[in-house]
Structures are given as structure tokens and as C-alpha cells.
Amino acid sequence: MRWVPYVIVSVILALLCGYAWRGRQYATLGWWLGWWLLATLTWTPITVTTGSVAGITTHWWANGIWVIRPLQRASIDASFWFNIMMTIPQGWLWHWRWPRWNWPIWLLAGVLTGLALEGGQALGNWLFGLGRWVDINDIITNALGVILGYGLAKFWQNKWRRDSSCS
């Protein structure tokens, strides 16, 4: 029962990927594949702990553990950095998909990505007992990863343009 949210999301994303592939919309295909990877990392009922949870203030609500106090010393562990790393590719894909956005939109895209992932975990906990932590730090780190990925893609694009125009 705990796998139901992930299976539903995977089927929907597989259909969206199929439509993008058939339409030769490769940026869109990459976009949906990126979301499938993020769903795999965040909406499966498998929890991997990369540090100690001792010292983190948590709350039990809606069948799940919530961390609503950001940046507690104990919460800045390997998973903190992994959350940034896992969303950098999606930020790159945001840029590939929508290259003309300015920085406030990057910030909004990052926050919405974090909210979507943590909101999915909260909903999965509430409806299916997913067993995932809903953590404000994950929203912050996911947003930061998207912003970094978008910024890196923009930097790379500008550098590539400069280098190709000098040739």
C-alpha cells in the first residue's frame, strides 16, 4: 500500500515521457525524466538516514515526522548536501526548458520544486503511511539545488556562446 503514490506518479510520468518522445520534444522529455528521478528519490517508502537524527526537533503530524525548525545543527548532515545535489540536474533542466527566466523566477521554481517534493511526502504520509520525514530543510536545500543548477546552466550557456563567438 505504501508504494501506491510512487506507482501512480511513475505511470503518469511514463505517459508524459512517451508523449514527449513521440513529439520529439527532448527538453520536455528530459524535464519529465528529471521529475521521475526526484519522485524515485523522495516518494518511495524507503528511508535512508545519512546521519544522526538525535538533536533534531521533530513533530508527529498526519502519520509522519515533521521538521519545521530550519537549519538545526544536527540536520546539516550528508542528506542536507545530497538534497542540494539531487536537484541541481532539475535546475539545469529548468534552464534547458525555459532559458529566458530571470533570477526571481529561478528562486520561485526552486521553492516550488521543494514544496512539491515535500508536499508529496506529506500527502503520501497522510494517505498511505509512506514513512518519510517532511522537512523544512529539504525545501531549502531542494530550492538551492534548483537555483544552482539553473545558474550553472546559464553560466555554461553564456560561456559557450562567448567561446563560440571568439572562434
DSSP class per residue in 31-82: HHHHHHHHHHHHSSS-----S--TT---EEETTEEEE-STT-GGG-SHHHHH
User: Is 161 a member of any domain?
Assistant: yes
Separation of alpha carbons 71 and 42, rounded Å = 20
User: Is 1 a member of any domain?
Assistant: no
126: domain range?
Answer: 57-166
pTM of the full predicted structure? 0.88
User: Is 132 a member of any domain?
Assistant: yes
Closest listed residue to residue 125, CA positions, set 67, 57, 49: 67
User: Is 9 a member of any domain?
Assistant: no
* Cα 45–chain centre separation: 16
User: Is 138 a member of any domain?
Assistant: yes
pLDDT score recorded for residue 126? 95
Separation of alpha carbons 140 and 68, rounded Å = 11
User: Is 124 a member of any domain?
Assistant: yes
Q: pLDDT tens track of the chain, all 167 residues?
A: 899 999 999 999 999 999 999 999 998 999 999 999 999 999 998 877 776 778 899 999 999 999 999 999 988 989 899 999 999 999 999 898 888 888 899 899 999 999 999 999 999 999 999 989 999 999 999 999 999 999 999 999 888 777 776 65
User: Is 63 a member of any domain?
Assistant: yes
pLDDT score recorded for residue 167? 58
For the chain, how many structural domains are there in total? 1
User: Is 78 a member of any domain?
Assistant: yes
